[in-house]
Amino acid sequence: MADFSNSLEEFGRNTERMIIPDKTTKQKMTAAGAKVLSEALQKETRGKHYQAGRKIGKVKHLADSITYEEKDVDGVDNGNSVVGFTGKDESGINHARIARFLNDGTKYITGDSFVDRTRRVSVSAIFAAQQAVYNGTGGGSHGTTHHPS
């Protein structure tokens, strides 16, 4: 039984090495997916929550505060990318907090799940972008923060 267990372990390690890309490729893949999600989220946010002509000093609109970074949470460089809304320092208001209220709702606001829905409907497009990079037909920039316009 120990031989079978060792064989399965070895098979798992070998399969993992064949399938999992190196960090640079992983970073390009996750960046490509993050770009797709951020563009979809920007379009959805603009469609659901844009108030044309509204001016509040230098504060950006929620749709213009969507960004992605080719690092993980807290700037950890591990090949992951994150998508989100800018905070107070970058845009004058904590857009992530506002987006959460609009998405989840509050005691006074009925949430519309626009972020959750965008994530769900974007899965295929995100996967296609990542697969294109993995197969060598797509690209990605490395180590940058993006503010789609």
Range among 16-20, 49-53, 92-96 rated most confident: 92-96
**What does the alpha-carbon distance between residue 142 and residue 126 come to, in Å, rounded to a whole number?**
17
In a domain, 3, yes or no: no
* Residue among 136, 137, 135, 122 nearest 35 (CA): 122
Counting residues of the chain whose pLDDT is more than 70, the rounded percentage is: 83
**What does the alpha-carbon distance between residue 145 and residue 34 come to, in Å, rounded to a whole number?**
11
Q: Give the pLDDT confidence score for residue 81 in this predicted structure.
A: 94
Per the prediction, the chain carries an average pLDDT of 84
The residue-averaged pLDDT of 103-113 equals: 95
The residue-averaged pLDDT of 33-58 equals: 87
In a domain, 56, yes or no: yes
Reduce the DSSP state of residue 64 to 3 states and report it.
helix
Q: Which two tokens stand for residue 36?
A: 């797709």
Domain count, the chain: 1
Reduce the DSSP state of residue 121 to 3 states and report it.
helix
The residue-averaged pLDDT of 29-43 equals: 96
**What does the alpha-carbon distance between residue 90 and residue 103 come to, in Å, rounded to a whole number?**
21
**What does the alpha-carbon distance between residue 88 and residue 71 come to, in Å, rounded to a whole number?**
20
Give 141 or 124, the one with higher predicted confidence.
124
In a domain, 86, yes or no: yes
Residue 113 sits in which domain range?
Answer: 23-146
In a domain, 28, yes or no: yes
In a domain, 11, yes or no: no
Q: Give the pLDDT confidence score for residue 35 in this predicted structure.
A: 97
Res 91 pLDDT > 80: no
